[in-house]
Amino acid sequence: MLTLDKFEEASEKVKEVTLETKLVYSDFLSEQTGNKVYLKPENMQFTGAYKVRGAYYKISTLTEAERKKGLITASAGNHAQGVAYAAKCYGCKAVIVMPTTTPLIKVNRTKSYGAEVVLCGDVYDEACQKAYELAEEKGYTFIHPFDDLAVATGQGTIAMEIFKELPLVEYILVPIGGGGLATGVSTLAKLLNPKIKVIGVEPAGANCMQASFKAGKVTTLPSVNTIADGTAVKTPGSKIFPYIKKNLDDIITVEDDELVVAFLDMVENHKMVVENSGLLTVAALKHLGVKDKRVVSILSGGNMDVITMSSVVQQGLIFRDRIFTVSVLLPDKPGELSKVAATIAAEQGNVIKLEHNQFVSTNRNAAVELRITLECFGTDHKNQIIKALEKNGYKPKLVRASL
């Protein structure tokens, strides 16, 4: 596996189940970073993620007897849908073990392809252990989400498509959970152009591959904590580790707060919904440290439930100073609230929530607290509103916004 012939074979095979995800040039991200940034929108695949590539190619390499046993895998969601859909195409049974924390949209879509879903454990690693137990008990054929050379070969077909569209690409940014996608993409990219740089990106709270690189061997994290649920993996793949160690040039980690802001940028500037794991490569662009390069960021998936989306949008607005909360102390008498409201209105601020606390002081004639949550146009506008409140005799104090 992981030869040019196998990658070419896989590239033709996955065309049977994948949609064409042409590169999208990003004026916004290019201007922000000083590079020519292109997006590979795998979030637009039929199953909402790239994972169907590896799953379908892997299943195509199985014997008829192996497929008839039924298939089983563990996944935080995207590989689950890939296996479920591929199994449906081949007419075989699929059992998917998913962490109990998996977003509802991923669970329901996996079921919609006819798969049986078993919820177990809080993270992928615990779900995977359960899947192995069921495979042993029932005789199912196990399809590993990343530590499998055939699966990695299928995922690497993304690199083939990138090179066909952008032969002079200089950097490819790829998300890392267990490492299957990074293995396939980096290996094929180096076969096609040894000078290209392939950079892996992990959430800071689940950097198992970075820890393994530093240790020089596969390393298990004691725990993971990230909103990027699709890459919340404690142990990277051991079979693929030698390939990724050889072909990956560097690993960048990003904080969850950076993913929140990246989500807002993608929605506002590209009208695309990309899940937190898929945004890793977007958030990493400002950490790349190069200029005037042709860079491709792989958007690995877009399966995000509405509740999570709502929370991320709200937090993104707060981080971007589009929403903020200010506290002012007022005498407890008629007309004071209208004075504050008039000051804010004059500066084009939009009040979205008020909290009036009469018990901040034992002397209510001296002060009551008013907390005002506002919408504004950004940092400069926020500062303008605060200065106006100060000018009118108030002593505004910024507090953590709470929606």
pLDDT band for 336, please (50, 70, 90 cuts).
Answer: confident
pLDDT at 337: 87
**What is the distance of C-alpha 5 from the center of its chain?**
31
The residue among 181, 133, 197, 188 whose CA lies nearest residue 159 is 188
Active-site option among 13, 36, 40, 51 = 51
Strands 71-74 and 197-203: unpaired
Surface-to-core class of residue 227, CB atoms within 10 Å of its CB (0-12 exposed, 13-18 middle, 19+ buried): buried
With tokens 């924390």, the residue in question is: 101
pLDDT tens-digit profile of 184-222?
A: 999 999 999 999 999 999 999 999 999 999 999 999 999
Angle formed at CA 260 by CA 255 and CA 265, multiple of 5 degrees? 120
190 is catalytic: no
Tell me the mean pLDDT in the region 37-41.
98
The CATH classification number of 52-142 equals 3.40.50.1100
**Cα–Cα distance list, 321 to 226, 230, 271, 381 (Å):** 23, 28, 21, 9
Q: Are 298 and 367 in contact (CB under 8 A)?
A: no
pLDDT band for 276, please (50, 70, 90 cuts).
Answer: very high
Q: Are 118 and 74 in contact (CB under 8 A)?
A: no
- Right CATH number for 321-399 from 1.10.3720.10, 3.30.70.260, 3.30.60.50, 3.40.50.150? 3.30.70.260
pLDDT tens-digit profile of 360-383?
A: 666 656 678 899 999 999 999 999
Tell me the mean pLDDT in the region 230-240.
92
With tokens 């995977």, the residue in question is: 128
Tokens of 74: 């563990």
Tell me the mean pLDDT in the region 27-38.
97
What element of type H or E holds 117?
A: strand 116-119
Tokens of 244: 């990724």
Q: Where are the domains of the chain?
A: 4-50+151-316, 52-142, 321-399
pLDDT at 330: 86
The residue among 229, 277, 389 whose CA lies nearest residue 325 is 389
The residue among 119, 117, 138, 53 whose CA lies nearest residue 89 is 53
**What is the distance of C-alpha 55 from the center of its chain?**
20
Q: Are 193 and 251 in contact (CB under 8 A)?
A: no
Tokens of 284: 């990493």
Q: Is the pLDDT of residue 299 over 60?
A: yes
The sign one gets for the Cα dihedral 117, 118, 119, 120 is negative
300 is catalytic: yes
Tokens of 176: 């890392």
Q: Are 138 and 172 in contact (CB under 8 A)?
A: no
- On whether the 4-50+151-316 domain is CATH 3.40.50.1100, my answer is yes
In whole numbers, what is the pLDDT of the chain averaged over residues? Answer: 93
Q: Are 255 and 132 in contact (CB under 8 A)?
A: no
Active-site option among 26, 60, 186, 300 = 300
pLDDT at 103: 76
pLDDT band for 63, please (50, 70, 90 cuts).
Answer: very high
Tokens of 277: 């794991």
Q: Is the pLDDT of residue 15 over 90?
A: yes
Look up residue 125 and give its amino acid.
Answer: D
Surface-to-core class of residue 177, CB atoms within 10 Å of its CB (0-12 exposed, 13-18 middle, 19+ buried): buried
Q: Is the pLDDT of residue 126 over 70?
A: yes
Q: Are 200 and 187 in contact (CB under 8 A)?
A: no
Complete DSSP assignment for 249-310: -EEEEE-HHHHHHHHHHHHHHH-----TGGGHHHHGGGGS---S-EEEEEE-B----HHHHH
Asked whether the domain spanning 321-399 has the same topology as the one spanning 52-142, the reply is no
pLDDT at 366: 61
**Cα–Cα distance list, 85 to 81, 218, 402 (Å):** 6, 31, 40
**What is the distance of C-alpha 115 from the center of its chain?**
24
With tokens 């596996």, the residue in question is: 1
